[in-house]
Amino acid sequence: MSVNHIPEFHLAERDGATLTLKSADGHVAHIFLLEQDIIRVMVLPDATLHFPRTWAIAPGTQHCPLDGRERFSLAGFSQPGYILTDTAGALQIQTEKIRLTVQLKGLFCSWETRPDGDWKLVAQDRNTQHLNFDYWDDKVYHYLKRDAEDDMYFGLGERSGDSNRHGRSYSLKTIDAMGYNASSTDALYKHIPFYITWSKKQKTAFGLFYDTLSEGKLDMGCELDNYHGHYRYFVAEHGDLDYYFIAGDNMEQVVRRYTWMTGKPAFTPKWGLGYSGSTMSYTDEPDAQEKMNEFLVNCEQHDILCESFHLSSGYTSIGNKRYVFNWNRDKFPDPHAFAQHYLEHGVRLCANIKPCLLQDHPRFSEAESLDLFIKDQDGKPEMVQFWDEVGAYLDFTNPDTIDWWKRAVTTSLLEYGITSTWNDNNEFQVLNPQATVHGFGHPFKAVEAKGLQTMLMMAASQEAQTEFAPEKRPYLVSRSGAAGMQRYVQTWSGDNYTSWQTLKYNIKMGLGLALSGISNTGHDVGGFSGPAPGPELLLRWVQFGIFMPRFSIHSWNDDKTVNEAWMYPEITGAIRNLLKLRACLTPYFYDLLWRYHQHYEPMIKPTFLAFPDDPKCYAENDDMLVGANLLLAAVVEPGQKSRAIYLPAGADWYDFWSGAHHRGGQEIALPAAGEQPPLLARAGSAIAVNVAEQHFNQAAHQQGFMVFPHQFDGSFDTEFFDDDGDSNAYVDGKSSMWKIRVHSTTSTLEINLECTGIQPTSDFVTLLLPQHETRQVVTGATTISGDAIVNQRREITLKIKS
């Protein structure tokens, strides 16, 4: 707003949870009291909603209509009672968790929360020109004060560089950034305008989510202007200022609440947590089907556990170009037999699909005649650069396109036995500002919401898979995405570059996504683009990658080599053992996936999320919590023989391998040589594991629990979910819930196990304790046997059925 005209607002209407403020200049603002901890502000300078629907908001559900949710809808929110105080010049709105004060002259907002019972000022609009009431241009702006010394900012999805975003500026757009620099490249593949502010001084946390699909920018203090003090700001090229303030007693509460608000994460099948093979190279070979089958032979020969394979786009090629839904029958003479061969070996295929048809695509004319493309200003398909050709993007805001896409997915893939889809190259890089989309009958400019096309592509693929196999939970992945994408897909950090630097910063990128509601993620292990990784780098990648929810070795190396588990004989055995460790820990990962789906709990976490009161956890580091109970110290530098790690205060820790016990609140050094990654387990925890011996294409399961008891007196209890792994039967209660309770004294461990719901097929459960644990074990089991040291652990077999 200009300095010589500051609009004066008044409370014009109060309708339940919605307050409407108006000014004599025709400006309108709406304040929505959604939850005790969520208040939403919408500012309409010309009283017009420019983007009347949202695809981000789906509180507590996986469902969002394909044509979007009405932006004024409050469905799914509890709309609690609140206290409204209308004093001279200001409105004060108070819930149990938030107190919002709005200065009516200028619509300046200040926000207070009370995590410890006392109200604390946590956020304020900038005192000068914080909103764009006077139309400097057509963009949307919001400026906030920032504390240059105290504030820390986290989230914003998948971003390069450090975890703390303070002092950086980020583009709100998606781009195909193959070979990106993981410490500096901007933009990347995700559009997530959500971040958390943490005050080191006050120990307060809150989240801000800007509900937009427009391109723009979030500046977190990179820009300085002498006339305005320290500030941060949001700017969008199009749309409306519509933002959500989320309060929490700590950052994890904010993350969970934001995740809940943007939609229940997909409960993908258990096999989606296994190793997924992939490479561009196999499907680019003239005898691709034979090359693909050789992969299975090598897995069997080297006993490499593998549960899926991401089929790269070379299967669609004509010449050296790629044509989605086209099978190259020279490379793949019998796609059905090919898919069945993989299924017989216990490996599902996830086929690459792309949303752009090249101009010489065999079905281009068909799609054009059906009016399925994004259009240019003349009503023709908007032609864009796509790989080594030009083509046109399909317009998923047209219901006919969605129907066409679903039929193509079904007839070209699912009917052949390919169970899932890999939604790729879906950044929708449309540059023409005059290009338009169908908009479900309400056309708008394509550049106003490119990410919407990505979201609808995912939704269409998911619908196709669900309709084809309604009894199965769908599995699909997407490279690009926006807020709410967790409802549909597993994702990864895109086409990374092979380097030690990438390994280091991909850790932070994954954690940034998890802080932004998207935990089911991973990386191209070994690096996708650039030189082939050497043996040491590949091994370090695998040591880290097996602890991500998504684990895939994928590559397109400059020298045409392929990143494979057996590419270096000297480390093949180590990689084999690491994949078997991953399989052993799958029950733990699966429970984390369930908690994410059911309770919105991040599957991976920075240490400060679980230990917010320990200031040392906020220092930039390369550590990662897997769930609440495993602490991974990834090795990200060459030549390291040991790894220093700070153990968060507030818990004690066990070395996962040796069983050595360590107090929290100190830095220790862990061995880093050999195949075992530096790893710790939290004292007072249990880890669900599969103790059966695993081999390629020979599924076996034997329930077990690693127990890490308190060193002295103490108790803990925990639960672990399990079911058949891929059906929807859990919705009808066909699942198991294991409950384990452990009480420690200086001389005994009392361990009680209970399984409710579907009972295990085996009569026996294995307990694994640290090898130095010599206390007497007391249980309610019928039989205790096998109390011996096995594989560096004390192993006890319990007979749980009489």
Say yes or no: 109 and 211 in one domain: yes
Segment 508-526 shows an average pLDDT of: 98
Say yes or no: 96 and 185 in one domain: yes
State yes or no: pLDDT of 788 exceeds 70. Answer: no
SS3 135: coil
DSSP string, 589-639: HHHHHHHHHHH---SEE-HHHH-TT-GGGGS---EEEETTTEEEE---STT
Task: Please give the pLDDT value at position 780.
Answer: 76
Average pLDDT, the chain: 96
State yes or no: pLDDT of 115 exceeds 70. Answer: yes
* Across 345-359, 539-553, 777-791, least confident range: 777-791
Q: How far separated are the first and last CA of the chain, in Å rounded?
A: 77
Contact present, 193 and 174 (Cβ < 8 Å): no
- Whether residue 72 is contained in a domain is answered as yes
State yes or no: pLDDT of 529 exceeds 70. Answer: yes
Segment 436-459 shows an average pLDDT of: 98
Segment 523-548 shows an average pLDDT of: 98
Q: If you ran DSSP here, which 8-state letter would residue 200 be given?
A: T
- Whether residue 406 is contained in a domain is answered as no
CATH number where 70 lies: 2.60.40.1760
- Whether residue 435 is contained in a domain is answered as no
Helix (H) or strand (E) holding 453: helix 450-468
Q: Which residue has the tokens 């997530």?
A: 192
Q: If you ran DSSP here, which 8-state letter would residue 125 be given?
A: B
Segment 625-636 shows an average pLDDT of: 98
State yes or no: pLDDT of 493 exceeds 90. Answer: yes
Residues with Cβ < 8 Å from 659, sequence gap 6 or more?
A: 770, 771, 772, 773, 792, 793
- Whether residue 30 is contained in a domain is answered as yes
Give residue 460's pLDDT band: very low, low, confident or very high (50, 70, 90): very high
Closest C-alpha to 404, from 367, 368, 443:
367
Say yes or no: 240 and 152 in one domain: yes
Say yes or no: 700 and 762 in one domain: yes
Say yes or no: 65 and 192 in one domain: yes
Give residue 773's pLDDT band: very low, low, confident or very high (50, 70, 90): very high
Give the start-end residues of each E strand in 254-396. 275-278, 308-311, 317-318, 321-322, 348-353, 356-358, 383-386, 389-393
Say yes or no: 26 and 156 in one domain: yes
What is the share, in percent, of the chain residues with pLDDT greater than 90?
94
- Whether residue 537 is contained in a domain is answered as no
DSSP string, 645-677: EEEPTTS-EEETTT--EE-SSEEEEEE-SSSPP
Task: Please give the pLDDT value at position 38.
Answer: 98
User: What strands, in cross-sheet order, belong to the sheet with 748-757?
Assistant: 714-722, 736-744, 748-757, 776-779
Segment 97-110 shows an average pLDDT of: 98
Neighbour-count burial for 528-547, b at 16+ CB within 10 Å, e otherwise: bbbebbeeebbbbbbbbbbb
Contact present, 749 and 714 (Cβ < 8 Å): no
Residues with Cβ < 8 Å from 600, sequence gap 6 or more?
A: 255, 256, 257, 259, 260, 264, 265, 517
Domain boundary among 236, 262, 288: 262
Say yes or no: 628 and 772 in one domain: no
**Residue ranges making up the domain that contains 742:** 686-799
SS3 155: strand
- How many Cα neighbours within 13 Å face the side chain of 543? 26
Contact present, 636 and 540 (Cβ < 8 Å): yes
Q: Is the pTM of this model over 0.95?
A: yes
Say yes or no: 666 and 692 in one domain: no
* Widest Cα–Cα separation across the chain: 84
Q: Are strands 748-757 and 776-779 parallel, antiparallel or unpaired?
A: parallel
- Whether residue 198 is contained in a domain is answered as yes
- Whether residue 723 is contained in a domain is answered as yes
Domain boundary among 682, 715, 744: 682
Domain boundary among 661, 682, 703: 682
SS3 337: helix
Helix (H) or strand (E) holding 244: strand 241-248
Number of domains in the chain: 3
| Cα–Cα distance measured from residue 683 to residue 628, given in angstroms and rounded to the nearest whole number | 11
Task: Please give the pLDDT value at position 568.
Answer: 98
Say yes or no: 695 and 676 in one domain: no
Segment 590-599 shows an average pLDDT of: 98
Say yes or no: 694 and 664 in one domain: no
- DSSP bridge pairs for 795: 768, 788
Task: Please give the pLDDT value at position 136.
Answer: 80
Say yes or no: 45 and 113 in one domain: yes
State yes or no: pLDDT of 784 exceeds 70. Answer: no
Cis peptide leading into residue 187 (ω within 30°): yes
DSSP string, 485-527: GGGT-EEE--SBBSSHHHHHHHHHHHHHHHTTT--SEEEEET-
State yes or no: pLDDT of 785 exceeds 70. Answer: no
State yes or no: pLDDT of 384 exceeds 80. Answer: yes
Say yes or no: 182 and 198 in one domain: yes
Give residue 800's pLDDT band: very low, low, confident or very high (50, 70, 90): confident
CATH number where 775 lies: 2.60.40.1180
Task: Please give the pLDDT value at position 636.
Answer: 98
- Whether residue 649 is contained in a domain is answered as yes
Task: Please give the pLDDT value at position 388.
Answer: 85
